[in-house]
């Protein structure tokens, strides 16, 4: 059983990498036979991995028929964006309560990595580090349900960015926001941190026309 789980985990990672690197594109069918030959395994762990990817919202699974990479509509992207903003609000509050100043200062390292990735034009790394930055709020919250939710949410966000690539509006300012949010948190200025993270997410996902600031922080 352990060996089967290990192979399934490897297949999951392999398929996720293929999807995020666009080697398998949105709406494209995933061939179990082809993957089995590439990895050198039976179809059973592939099916287990596909079930996990379906639970993550990355794959559409049609039992006894086929599996395909998801293709998010604009409405779905908007819904994910709204949830990211709400996540960031709650996670920041909890992180300020349970995280230390040292933890917050360490977040600047991730912000640096995100900034560097944008500077050198490494799109995949910038996406990964941006998601890592926002997920760190949940880790500092020490709230297990929130961390579980964040992992699922940012798996979808990384996929959305990879498949639909969201060009940053004023990228320098978007990346500077990371540093400014941390500074507000360190200075115990929760309201300023939250207002900035709402504006940051709204700009990133293009939410401001439909969702005013008062929708999130009233």
Give Rg (Cα) of the chain: 19
* Architecture of the structural domain at 74-217: Up-down Bundle (1.20)
* Architecture of the structural domain at 2-69: Orthogonal Bundle (1.10)
Q: Which of 36, 1, 33, 185 is nearest to 98 (CA)?
A: 185
Considering the entire predicted model, what is its pTM?
0.89
Q: Which of 177, 155, 142 is nearest to 52 (CA)?
A: 155
pLDDT at 168: 57
**Exposed, middle or buried: residue 67 (CB in 10 Å: 0-12, 13-18, 19+)?**
buried
What percent of the chain shows pLDDT beyond 70? 95
Does residue 7 or residue 199 have the better pLDDT? 199
Sequence-distant (≥ 6) Cβ neighbours of residue 94 within 8 angstroms:
137, 138, 140, 141, 142, 143, 146
d(CA 58, CA 19): 9
pLDDT at 171: 78
Give Cα separations from 183 to 67, 86, 88, 133, 171 (angstroms): 45, 20, 15, 14, 19
Query: Which tens digits make up the pLDDT trace of 97-119?
Result: 999 999 999 999 999 999 999 99
pLDDT at 169: 65
Query: Which tens digits make up the pLDDT trace of 35-87?
Result: 999 888 888 899 999 999 999 999 999 988 899 999 999 999 999 999 999 99
List the structure tokens of 162. Answer: 């990879």
Residues in the chain: 218
List the structure tokens of 117. Answer: 């990735």
User: Domain extents for the chain?
Assistant: 2-69, 74-217
* Per-residue pLDDT at 187 exceeds 70: yes
pLDDT at 145: 95
Sequence-distant (≥ 6) Cβ neighbours of residue 191 within 8 angstroms:
none
pLDDT, average across residues 182-191:
98
* Per-residue pLDDT at 202 exceeds 80: yes
């Amino acid at each position: 059983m352990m060996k089967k789980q290990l192979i399934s985990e490897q297949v999951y990672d392999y398929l996720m990498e293929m999807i995020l690197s666009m080697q398998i594109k949105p709406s494209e069918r995933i061939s179990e036979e082809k993957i089995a030959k590439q990895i050198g395994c039976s179809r059973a762990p592939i099916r287990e991995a596909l079930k996990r990817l379906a639970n993550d919202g990355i794959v559409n699974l049609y039992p006894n028929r086929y599996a395909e990479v998801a293709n998010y509509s604009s409405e779905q992207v908007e819904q994910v964006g709204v949830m990211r903003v709400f996540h960031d609000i709650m996670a920041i509050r909890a992180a300020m309560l349970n995280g230390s100043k040292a933890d917050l200062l360490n977040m600047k390292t991730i912000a640096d990595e995100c900034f560097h990735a944008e500077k050198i034009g490494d799109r995949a790394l910038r996406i990964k580090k941006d998601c890592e930055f926002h997920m760190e709020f949940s880790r500092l919250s020490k709230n297990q349900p929130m961390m579980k939710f964040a992992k699922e949410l940012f798996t979808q966000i990384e996929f959305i960015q990879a498949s639909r690539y969201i060009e940053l509006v004023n990228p320098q300012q978007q990346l500077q926001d990371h540093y400014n949010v941390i500074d507000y948190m360190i200075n115990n200025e929760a309201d300023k941190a939250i207002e900035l993270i709402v504006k940051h997410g709204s700009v990133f996902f293009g939410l401001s026309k439909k969702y005013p600031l008062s929708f999130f922080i009233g």
